């Protein structure tokens, strides 16, 4: 199974809900939410899995920084 590394951010909003967000491509933004940080990340993983099943895995550019 291919492995995809996706940068993400996780924040808790003012009502206590955790939100996890990631950009799969410049045009595809995905979000997950949950009562805990872990639940939000799991919801985001599900969204990413569904998006890649629908659209395919995007090309990646890897750059080694000095």
DSSP string, 21-50: EEEEETTEEEEEEESSHHHHHHHHHHHHHH
* CA distance linking residue 39 with residue 18, whole number of Å: 8
pLDDT of res. 9: 97
- Least Cα distance to 11 among 19, 3, 1 occurs for 19
Read off the pTM.
Answer: 0.81
Per-residue pLDDT of the chain (66 residues; tens, 9 = 90+): 677 788 999 999 999 999 999 998 888 899 999 999 999 999 999 999 999 888 888 776 666 788
**Can you say whether residue 16 is alpha, beta or left, with left for phi > 0 and alpha for psi between -120 and 50 degrees?**
left
């Amino acid at each position: 199974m291919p492995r995809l590394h996706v940068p993400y951010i996780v924040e808790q909003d003012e009502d206590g809900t955790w939100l996890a967000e990631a950009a799969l491509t410049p045009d595809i933004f995905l979000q997950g939410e949950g009562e805990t940080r872990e639940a939000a990340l799991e919801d985001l993983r599900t969204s990413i899995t569904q998006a890649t099943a629908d659209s395919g895995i995007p090309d990646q550019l890897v750059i080694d920084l000095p």
